[in-house]
């Protein structure tokens, strides 16, 4: 499809990752450690998210942090002491692992101060982002790198302008955990037009069973709308409410499209899903997988006989 001149903009290069949450679902592990640092196999969850941004071509990453989030900054920074010790030992492979996270992207940090919701966190990115479209990645959602979503969303944004959200069909009994979207089909099978959005509706009030998952490509017009968005669900400034306004106003800063995702997604914000993510990813690892899978098979067999 021919891209109209009004949509021709500089390529999206900035990613924003809200990471100011308290992580109460993982207490006591998160009493003194940010939930984003919890390992998924042997890598902190947040590193998967930064790697995803980088593989979609976004090498400028802004993290929205808060109190007690210093380990995030340390993780993406050099650790000379450790690097020196590993160099001294000649342990090249571990040295590479240590350096991997500090060489990934250009990292920036801003503190949210008052945690007033996801919409407020995104608003904290305004001075850094300026007037270009940008991506938002929520740390609780891990998207399997074999099923790229963000690069498709960027493509759709470049084609249509406006903002793009990610959707996944969920069981209606689960929709109250997500933003829910009213949609219209487009000529692209995986792309829909958003006509309405409701944050965490009861099943009976949900416009559909299409749930918003934690990836967004946003037009900078979102900042103006967020500035005026009143606290919504849970008394928080909701990104969903601001996107709803853009979707419904449909002016030059709209439209809002959705990319329907059918790939593998792990919700590391939920303890059960977090465990499932670790098991799946460990099974697929070349170094750990063969051993772990055979143990798992035996364990499941024993469980079935018990
Ligand atoms: C946020 C959004 C919600 C979205 C969800 C995806 O909610 O507000 O619309 O469906 O992320 O993970 P949270 O889970 O942070 O409460």
Average pLDDT, consecutive stretches of 10 residues, N- to C-terminus, the chain (306 residues):
49 95 93 95 97 97 94 96 96 95 96 93 97 96 94 96 97 96 96 97 96 97 96 95 92 86 93 94 95 97 90
Atom of ligand 1 nearest to the CA of 212: 10
* Probe residue for ligand 1, chosen from 140, 229, 234 as the CB with the greatest number of ligand atoms within 8 Å: 140
Domains parsed from the chain with CATH numbers: 2-267 (3.90.550.10), 270-306 (no CATH)
Instruction: Determine the pLDDT at residue 164.
Output: 98
Ligand 1: nearest atom to the Cα of 179: 9
Instruction: Answer for the pair 222, 122: CB distance below 8 angstroms, yes or no.
Output: yes
- pLDDT attached to residue 11: 86
Which residue has a Cα nearest atom 7 of ligand 1?
178
- Predicted model pTM: 0.94
Q: How many angstroms separate the CA atoms of 55 and 43, rounded?
A: 17
Judge whether 266 and 142 are in contact, CB under 8 Å. Answer: yes
**pLDDT given for residue 115 in this prediction:** 85
Ligand 1 pocket, residues with Cβ under 6 angstroms: 118, 138, 140-141, 178-179, 199, 211-214, 238-240
Closest CA to 165 of 146, 183, 147: 183
Which pLDDT score is estimated for 79?
95
Q: How far is CA 259 from CA 50, 55, 186, 297, in A?
A: 20, 18, 11, 36
Residue of 194, 61, 183 whose CA lies nearest to 129: 61
CA of 89 to the centre of ligand 1 (A): 45
Q: Whose CA is nearest to atom 13 of ligand 1?
A: 178
**DSSP bridge partners of 43:** 40
Q: What is the pLDDT of residue 106?
A: 97
Distance 203 CA to ligand 1 centre (A): 16
Beta bridge partners of 218: 134
106-111 and 60-65 strand pairing: parallel
Q: If you measure from the C-alpha of residue 121 to the centroid of ligand 1, how many angstroms do you get, rounded to a whole number?
A: 13
Q: Whose CA is nearest to atom 4 of ligand 1?
A: 178
Interval between CA 200 and ligand 1 midpoint (Å): 8
Q: What is the token pair recorded at 265?
A: 């997604």
Contacts of 279 (CB under 8 A, 6+ apart): 296
């Amino acid at each position: 499809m021919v891209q109209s001149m009004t949509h021709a903009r500089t390529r999206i290069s900035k990613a924003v990752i809200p990471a100011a949450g308290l992580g109460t679902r993982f207490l006591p592990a998160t009493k003194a450690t940010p939930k984003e640092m919890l390992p998924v196999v042997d890598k902190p969850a947040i590193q998967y998210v930064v790697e995803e941004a980088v593989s979609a071509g976004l090498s400028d990453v802004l993290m929205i942090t808060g109190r007690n989030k210093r380990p995030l900054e340390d993780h993406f920074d050099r650790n000379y002491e450790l690097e020196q010790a590993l160099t001294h030992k000649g342990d090249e492979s571990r040295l590479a692992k240590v350096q991997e996270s500090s060489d990934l992207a250009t990292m920036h940090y801003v503190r949210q101060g008052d945690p007033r919701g996801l919409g407020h966190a995104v608003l904290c990115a305004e001075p850094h982002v300026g007037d270009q479209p940008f991506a938002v990645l929520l740390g609780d959602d891990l998207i399997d790198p074999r099923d790229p979503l963000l690069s498709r969303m960027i493509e759709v944004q470049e084609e249509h302008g406006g903002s793009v959200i990610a959707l996944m069909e969920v069981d209606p009994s689960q929709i109250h955990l997500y933003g829910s979207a009213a949609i219209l089909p487009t000529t692209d099978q995986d792309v829909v037009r958003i006509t309405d959005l409701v944050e965490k509706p009861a099943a009976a009030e949900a416009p559909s069973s299409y749930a918003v998952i934690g990836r967004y490509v946003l037009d900078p017009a979102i900042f103006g709308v967020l500035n005026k968005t009143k606290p919504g669900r849970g008394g928080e400034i909701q990104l969903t409410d601001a996107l709803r306004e853009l979707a419904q106003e449909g002016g030059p800063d709209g439209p809002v499209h959705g990319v329907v995702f059918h790939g593998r997604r792990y919700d590391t914000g939920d303890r059960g899903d977090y465990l499932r993510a670790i098991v799946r990813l460990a099974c697929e690892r070349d170094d750990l997988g063969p051993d772990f899978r055979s143990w798992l098979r035996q364990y499941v067999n024993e469980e079935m006989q018990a």
